[in-house]
Structure 1
Amino acid sequence: MTNIRTRLAPSLRNFSARPAVRRSAIGVFAFVVLLGLFGYFALPGIIKSQAEQLITEKLHRQTTIGKVEVNPYAMQVTIHDMKLLEPEGDAVFASFEKLMVNVSYQSLFRLAPVVQQVQLSAPYIHLVRKDATHYNIDDIIELINSQPPSPEPARFSVFNIELDKGRIEFDDRPAQTVHKIADLKIGVPFVSSLPSQVDVYVEPLLSASINGSPLLIKGKTHPFADTVDAVVDLNLDNMDLTSYLKYIPGTPHFKIPSARLDLHMTATFSQPKKQAPSLLLNGDIKLKSLQVNDESGNSIVKLPELSITLNEARVLSERFEIAKLSISGIAADITRKANGRFNFDNLLTPPAPSTAAAKTVAATTAPVAASASPTQAAAPAQAPAAFIFALAELDVRNASLRYVDEAAHPVLANIDKFDLTVRKIEVDTGKKIVTVNELASNQAGFALQQGKAGREAAVISKAGDINAAKKKTAAANDEPYIVNINKVDISNWSARLEDRSLKRPAVTVIEPLNLSMQNLSTRENARGQIDLKATVNKTGQLAVNGSVGMAPLHTNLALDFKSVDIMQLQPYFTDQVNILLTRADISGKGTLQVDQGKNDGLLGGFKGDLTLGNLATVDKLSTNEFLRWKSLTFGGMDVRLAPLSLSIDQVALNDFFARIIIDPTGRINLQDVKRSETVGRKSVTEEHKPATATPAVATSTAVLPPPKKSASEIPPIKIKKLTLQGGDIRFTDNFIKPNYSANLKKFGGTINGLSSDPDSSANVDLKGQVNSAPLAISGKVNPLKGDLTMDIKAEVHGMELAPLSPYSGRYIGYGIEKGKLSFEVAYQVENRILSAQNRLILEQLTLGNKLEGPGIPDLPVSFALALLRDRNGVIDINLPIGGSLDDPQFSVGGIIVKVIVNLITKAVTAPFALIGSLFGGGEELSNLEFDAGRAAINDAGETKLKSMAKMLLDRPALKLEITGRSDPETDREGLKKASIDRKVRALKLKDMVARGESADAGNVKVTSQEYPVLLKRVYKDADFKKPRNMVGLQKDLPVEEMEKLMIANTTISDDDLTALGNRRAQAVKDWLIGEGKVPDTRIFILGSKSGNQGAKDDAAKAKANRVDFSLK
């Protein structure tokens, strides 16, 4: 203390010694005291009254302040409980609990306001939108805008800005919605425009709850530096977006029950002086729980989550890049209405232009337009600046897409459990290039369903619809974008293609499906690579790989497909044919090359092999086999499109069967394969039965030859080799009464050098068996040139004549009991003129009784045969014929018959030679019995035939005659029962085909459990009167009664019995030749007998459903 006094003593003496200093100090002290008194006691009242008055006058709102506190020494002012009322009423417009402002003494030195601290507690603002364009703060905004601009930028510095407990209520009356911002907190550490402080970073903070969703914003900025830069962190969690849907402009025609938003973003802004600004975005945006429905509540889009990741995305530059776009669980439903519009076309009606807004715009823009120079007014609109949009990765998981087309041909498409990854997408609007680096998808299920055709496609003509011609013209004026896809990898997909527009749906299943593509592009002359592997309908294998191009169209593909089931194609043609495809598959391997040439024509073609295998067809009505083969192979095929040509190294048809039938009108069944619109359904295999057994009258029908074609009308065709193997052709002539049947078996051979070249001929070498008789065909032929040329020889040795009895009866008046035919024919056609040599050799020919009836010729046949036979009983004649193919009356068969008839007429009759006698061998071998109505050999019969074969082999000089018989009573009933069994098996076969199962007509087995059900359906379809109950409905009957009624209403003709006897005889002969190894030359079939006609006394005691044996 003493030291202090000692040090201050000189100063006090100086102060006392200087009156002026003393007076100044007292004045300063007094000023400070008065200032404190004024600041503490007078200034608060002045500030309160002046502030209330000033704010009320300026804002036209009643203003009240609870209390004002002033600390003049701290240069601090605090205002408590300030309220602003609405211009009308007592509602609070704005308020706060406390505002504290602390001014720094540096303001005196910097000659600019420097605020040390600003605190605002519990501020509140009530905003009201009265209508579409008016708010309760319109007058305040107008007042602010009316203030003149400051000539110089304001100079200030404010530290420690704090706002807490803020609230904002926005009452949107047109939308009938109130939005609330609560817990608003703002913190700005520093903001300054003073030159010495503009380079200091300002780090503001804002947090709030917006309608219950938390929001957090942090930042760092240089707001007044020469280089303006700022960094803002924005965090928004679980924001409900449905509250803001009412602000979508226009009238929405959709509903969004749910939609939420998460936002975690950092924005970095920078603008150096006199340079372009830049804005970088980093962070994540998540759209969650989005549901979009149409006005009826039908779902359009369900999106559980969409996430956007930004990594230094440059918003204001020429390139904007999204690091990742993730879509999870999206389910989209797209519908094309019957009128051609989609379900999303009219989701939003654009708002009508506001009259007030239009007037405002007109008033604002009128001076500008008036002041514009003519050059500016006439300047065309500038094209938008080039821009590059990039997406580093698109990741779609568990997506489902559904497309429904309700137009004329309804279509339903689904993709379930769809995953997709797309990497490095870039869209360059300047260069008009879209680039995708990689697209990958794994394990997706695709289903496409074509519905039944409805009404005609709607014609769209209402206002606002697309004018196709204008659209095409406009598109032609715009340069299209070039799309480049570097890599596509689709694996383990499945596809189900179902066409329900047909009577029976056609279904194709492809699973799995793997597709890989590289370097796809729409750029001109670009070439990409494709590699496809798939399994079709469980068994078929498909592989495609090669190059493709789109501008112009180009393909160079290696194709390899094996055992692809084509049964699914049957519904497309089944209504046009009378046959049913029961199985078929296709295989092939080759190269498909197609290029788009000038005038959009296609060039190129296919080179490779193609096989149509395991084909089987049946008659739709009778289910009899019609056509089948094991394989039809086209090897070394070369098909050219322009000009059209076909070259094949080898065509091979293996193990084939065909049924050829001439109906009672003389029409061949091949003509009825295609269904006639007038006739409708018709059997192509059923033997049509006449009403009576009257023999047909011999008539001739002129058949015009096909029109002559010039060589120029036929495209170049070349088939180097045609191979046939294992052929079986069954021929039935129902035009002849009784009917005739023949089998051409083991038919095969080669035809080499088929060509449409008029100077070429193909070499023919074919062999087979006609009713067990060997057949050989050889020579040259060219059926592909404009005019047929042919030099063919054919020969048959040892063909049975008894089955030809219907023809001999018609043309010479006698049936044939026995005989063998060998013939050698030579046919030559040149310049449409036929010349032929026909050498016939008849052995052991034995005729039956003379036939009587209308149209039966009366010829001296017996004498003629006696003259023609040599000492060995052989007839050897040569019948040359000839004629023009252009003669409509020309017929090879007709000429041969005429020659034979003339030969017999001119001959002298002779006694008929009969040789042979019975050879005893035991009564047990004299005949072979069959089950009633059947021609199949049973176990007991095979035992007899084994003994018969042994006896014939032991006695080589003996010949065997076989006479087929039928019992008019028991066989007639047996055939009726067999007819029922055949219909039951036919119905089961149809069911199997309808289920997509392969089946052979001859091997269909019906179990005892299936038989009653199938019989009931056959009974229901039968065309006869059936017992009915009291209400007129068809009665359900036991199996036995249904069979009795069906048998009673089935008609079996005498011709059927005759045919049964022939089949029995042929079955026995085939067994003896095949199983018994008896030479064909030692076995003869005699004419079929009815009952015990012509039987000896001992044989007459046996049942008539048998065959009789006799030895010669």
Structure 2
Amino acid sequence: MKSVKNTFLKYRSLLIWVVSILLLYTLIGFLLVPWLAERQLVKTMQQRLGVEASVENIYFNPYTFEATVDNLQLTTEQDEPLAASEKLYLNLQPLQLARLTLRLEEINLADTTLHFRRYSTTANTLTRLADNWAVSAKEEAAEDEANQSSEQDESLFSLEIAEVNYTNGEIHYRDEVPKEPFETVLRPINIHLQDFSTEASQNASLDLAVGLENDAKLSADGKLSMSPLQLSGQITLDNFSLQSPYRYFKAQLPFELNQGRLDLQLSYDIDFADEAADIDLSAIDIGLTGFSILQPGMTKALLQDGKLEIKNASYAFPENQLILDNVSLTDFKLALTRNQQGDLNWLQLIAALPGKDSEAVVEDTDEQTDKQNTSPFTLEIGALSFTEGEIHYRDENPQEPFETVLRPVNIQLQDFSTEASQTANIDLDIGLEKDAKLSADGKLSMSPLQLSGQVTLNNFSLQTPYRYFNGQLPVELNSGRVELQTSYDINLAGDTKKIDLSEIDIEIAELDIHQPGESEALVKGGKLTISNGLYVYPENQLTIKSVSLDDFNLAATLNEQGEIDWLQVLEKMPDPATDEPDTQASPLQLDIANLAINNTKLTLMDEQLKTPFTLTMMLSGSMQNFTLAEGNQIPFTTDISLQTGGDIGIEGEIQLFPELAVQAEATIDNLALKPVQPYLSKYAHVGIVKGEVSSTAQITSNQQKPFSLQANLTVEDVQLDNQKNNEKLFSFDQLDINTIDFSLAKQRLAISEVIVDELYARIFINEDGETNVRGLLKEQPNDKAETENKDQDSLFNGYELAIGQAIINNASSRFTDASLPIVFDTHMQALNGEISGFSTLSEQPVELTLEGKVDEFGLVEIDGEIKPLALREFATVKLSFSNIDLPAMSPYTIKFAGRRIDEGRGDVELTYKVVEGELSATNNIVLHDIKLGERVEAPDALDLPLDLAVSLLKNKEGVIDLTIPVSGSVNDPEFDMSAVITQAINQAITNIVTAPFKFLGGLFGSDNEEPIDNIRFRPGESDLAPPEQEKLQKLAGALAERPQLAINIPPTFAMEADRQQLKQAAVEQRIESRLDQTDPETQLAERRQTVLETLYREAGLSPILRTLQQEFTVKTETQETAELDVLAYNADLKQRLIEAESISATQLQQLAEQRQQTIIDYIQQHADVSNDQLKRSETVATRLEDGWLKLKFELVTL
């Protein structure tokens, strides 16, 4: 005991120090360190980061060096959460510092929540914290810069972490940069890191599991070495929704991602020990399902459904080699759309992808490629299959947008490689619409690019590609099927492309081709067969054994504008010359051994006609050794049989190049004229009853003789009927045109002789006064008429036309006028004569000499000179009718005036002359001893005093001699000779009986512009103006010369105009009488004001004068006080007095009678006219015309 005590006493001081130190250490470790740590943590976070920190409890064991932080909370100054952790545990091994190692035995972080927010492209939660740290650390940064060189030595300590556990963590992520900000939460996050060390050749184990949104999961496990930096292991991504990253890139991508799930698994081995990274990705399995991509604004997905699987893929870097053992694409549906501007939606998406970032990536990639000397990229695919795919194609560019679906699409690719001299096998099967199928199999080499194999197209509908080219082709394709088979060998390596197509067999059937808007098919039915074809490029040589067109129905139509549909189609076809020429290809060399057309029907239609023209014929023909080579004579035969009757045969030889040349014989046998009926019906209501044409001709066309024809033509038994009256209009027994000789080179047409026998013509005027010829002609549009006139004028421009003579034998005609109340009918018979020969090279007019008989005792003679090809330039014709019985003309007088002619005879001489398109004619009509008969009711007859007209016209000898001039322009498309003559006669007679005052005035020198059938007066006046006095003098003279005539003179007034003038006159009269009573020394305006105000008060009008004066009181710029506008005030008072004035009906009647009496007095003062000739009639109310009122006379007989 003593020794213990002595020992204790001896080491008492030491023990006290030790105990004190231990106690102090314990107190510092358990109490002071946590307190300081908490204070320092809060202070540092606030000062350096601007973050508010709070800790529920910090525990530190100074003996085990274990530290625990409970409920750590970090928030911003705005009280926004940054991080929260329920528990952080650290276990430090300080004894390991002895071997220069900082070792943490364990780090546990549990239930930790992190908040990350991205404010802009350059600002986020971390950058803001870093900025706060940088601002608060400027002084430390300066010191660190001064001591930087001393701190660049390598660290003396290595770091070891035995185990790190991050459990049940989560990250709240919000991104405000995209157009549509979004939030997402990653949870749970579990990370396990074991045996981590910074020492060389030490591997750590890493396990990672992250829960993503939409039930996705990311997991990874592997090894990690820090020295050298190496990573290896496996990565698995399950059920990952592509919408998660899409939201982040939504504003940058030109498409909308609706859905899509990704499954990924791969092994990785990455080594950064050397300057060039060594990357080996293997066992790559990728699965993509439920894919759906849409273009903004569209409802149909660009890409949807389907499944993509990549099995056992690998990628090696820097070898830059990608190997895909197996690629499978199943059930994909792709939507391809071409908009109205011709842009494909997929190309639009590619073009809309971000460009600058892409370029930066390319530049960075190029720099890395240069530094790391990577190999060229190579791709190998063991097997690729695209099965049960669909391509939905919509084209909105054509005039009629269309959609089509290609399905199923099956593609098999075996042993594909981008390396040189490697050949892949490819099989393609595509189901097209309407049960068509495209199949291809062959070989494919990428380096050099070569293809070979066979292509088969079965049951392919031509409507499928036609819809795509609908806007470019001028036809509509309703149906058509193609069968095609060929072998191909294509070599695209080098500058010269080589294409060899052999064993080409094509069959096109069931064609139905229309012009837009037309019901009749241009081509229908039939079969086009091309057998054993061969095409070689760049030689551009096409050789075909045979081409056959069988059983086609063809139709050609002349539309309403006079255009042939086939020519329209050819003109509107895309011009191949507009494409860039292929400088490598030679001119096309085409050779066809046999070309045949068999049993083909051709239907010709003309829609210009009201009754469409239809002509059907059967065609057969053949051509041997057809070629585009120059100088070859190609034998051909053509047989045409018309359904309406008649046959045409042509046989000869044709040369296509270098110039077109034809030598042929043509025969026409009994070709019926009936098919011409629709052409004739377009211009006239004339029917072809019968008629046939026969001809023989020799045709030559070559460079020396562009076109020459030698022929004889006979037209027999022709009859044309009036379709309106159903009677014969025109006929002849035979027309012979002998020895026709036409030469295009000489521009000459010569006809030896034209003979017509038994010519008959029917002339008829219908009830409306229209001739049958005029009535039968159909009205044509002006522009067409002008075009036709121009065509006629220029038809022989530059050509020589010569006809030896024309002979008319025993012609006849019948003339009937049914426009009259009594039908007029006459016959012309035994008309014989000649028309002399003429030539376009001669200025000699053609002479006409014709003579015939009219009815029983009448004679008609026609003599004249005309230029047939220039009738509008010169024509002189004289028609003489002698000894015409006037009672027979009663139908005309009844129609015009409702009177018969009882007695008289007449002679008519009509002379017409046309010079340079202007017609001047003289119609001399002489009537002897005419006597009018009884009145006859006629609906269109003029109700005129015809006896008066006859009395005016007949001279002392009882002869009426009328000369009626006719003029006009025959260049007017509406000009009609017979109508002009009829109108002139009608107008001459009508003018006399309908305007007797004008006629009477003419006898006494009055011009036509001043008729004497009325006298004009000013409103409120009865005085005669000087021009009216002149008219009354002429009228008075005419009444004096014809005492049997009288006029009715009505008292006339215009109620409103006369009343207004009478009211104004009455007011002005009272004003003037009152002015006489005022002081003449006073200004007139003031005197008028006084008078008007007095009259206003006497009339008892309102409003009162003071009110009116206020309305007219104004203040000008030069006046300080307002003054009365006296002139305006007086005018208003006067107008109010006029409106208040009253005029009676008696006063108006008195004014009218004063005008009547003024006229009577003036006439009797200037001529010897009896009171009986000046009759007073009833009062007439009228209206003003140009400030005058008219008093109109009525002519009567006594």
TM-score between both structures, scaled by the size of structure 1: 0.48
TM-score between both structures, scaled by the size of structure 2: 0.45
Higher relative contact order (CA 8 A, sep 6+): 1
**Greater CA radius of gyration, 1 or 2?**
2
